[in-house]
Amino acid sequence: MLMKLHLLLFIISAFMTAANAQIAVSENAVMTGTNDPIISVSTSGNVTNAADYKFDDTQLYLDLSGNDQQINGEWTTFALRLSGGNEKFLNGKMTVTNAFVFGEGKFVVNDGASLVYTGAVENATSANASSYIIGQMTQRGGGPKFYPIGTETRYAYIEFFDIDEDFENITVEAFDGFGMTTSDPSLRILDGYWNIEITDPSKINSEVIVPVIPELLAAGEDAVVIQSDGGFATNLGSIPGSDQTQVISASPVTSTVVGVGATTEIDITIHELITPYGSPGVFDQLKIHNLPGFAYNKVTLLDRYGVPLKEWEDYSNDMSTDFFKTLSPGNYICIVEYGASKGNVRKKSQMVTVLKSR
């Protein structure tokens, strides 16, 4: 065992000293390891693994610094670093378990190849305009997710705040072009979209952050997140924190295609869920996005029989949560009047649900 490991380290070290190193594991090689070995490999040449050993029980740090490098076979890497050169091409399967380190060069996942990331969000956010992933990227489970992906022409990340539950794989790929159409005359579809592969899109149920190309926005337009399941686009709105470079959706994504739209008519979004019973704070009260953009608003909450329970003028999302803690679980009706003045308002109503989270 020790002899085999030392031999492996010796072989890799020898290859690392070459200017155009090529790491090739022969088909008949037998390699073993434990959790102890830490193998650091930096190469500007092609990388091939034709053996059964996948490095999945070894901390393998792989640093790619060449031009047009080819990565073949099946690999499990603790960390993948792009430190120079242009594109590197994944032709096999790779799982990155801890971190991406983006410096220079793009990592292209070819058709039929597979890239899976199982590390933390904060270890995948160093991507930039000259170093990111092109092609499909897969992550597993629920919670926050960041995809450092893009197209041949631009870096186009997508970040999910909190995917609904721990479920199967979710695979995302960024595209140039227009992934949907619209029947809304006030909504204009912008170039660029993201395709999501998942069995049940409703289980995504997460707000997202996506980048905006400022040059595509006309004067007076604001960016909004849009989605589609093959039909017309649905406007998911935007919330404070959005600007000319990125937009945060007001409503959660529940479809397989996400894009960016432009509009001069910003509407409000009423969040449909309140969980004031010991929840972590996100849904302690009624959330209504985009209200600060209007000079006047009045919010009325009715019970399911239409009896008014509470009325607010100049409602804001940071109001006291004490009232909402008095509500019994069940369905309620929220009516919002908003506009430039009290005499010039629009009205929107929606059912909201109060859940007991403990």
pLDDT at 96: 97
pLDDT at 284: 80
Where along the chain do its domains lie? Answer: 1-134, 173-267, 269-354
pLDDT at 138: 97
pLDDT at 25: 53
pLDDT at 251: 83
Tell me: the pLDDT tens digits for 261-314? 999 877 788 888 888 866 555 678 888 887 876 788 999 999 999 999 999 999
pLDDT at 282: 60
CA distances (Å), origin 98, targets 1, 59, 61, 193 = 26, 10, 10, 27
To the nearest 10°, report the CA torsion of 193, 197, 200, 201. Answer: -10
pLDDT at 2: 36
Cα 325 to Cα 284: distance, rounded to the nearest angstrom: 8
- State the pairing for strand pair 234-237/187-197: unpaired
pLDDT at 280: 55
The CATH topology of domain 269-354 is Immunoglobulin-like (2.60.40)
String of DSSP letters for 106-170: -EEE-TT-EEEE-S-GGGS---BTTB-EES-EEEESSEEEEE-EE-SS-B--EEEEEESSS-SEE
pLDDT at 20: 45
Per-residue pLDDT of the chain (358 residues), as tens digits, is: 333 333 344 344 333 433 444 556 545 444 444 455 678 888 999 999 887 777 777 889 999 999 999 999 999 999 999 999 899 999 999 999 999 999 999 999 999 999 999 999 999 999 999 999 999 999 988 889 999 999 999 999 999 998 876 667 999 999 999 999 998 888 999 999 999 999 889 889 899 999 999 999 998 888 999 999 888 998 888 876 777 899 999 888 999 999 999 998 777 888 888 888 665 556 788 888 878 767 889 999 999 999 999 999 999 887 877 888 888 999 999 999 988 788 888 899 999 999 875 5
pLDDT at 278: 62
pTM: 0.76
Cα 229 to Cα 78: distance, rounded to the nearest angstrom: 35
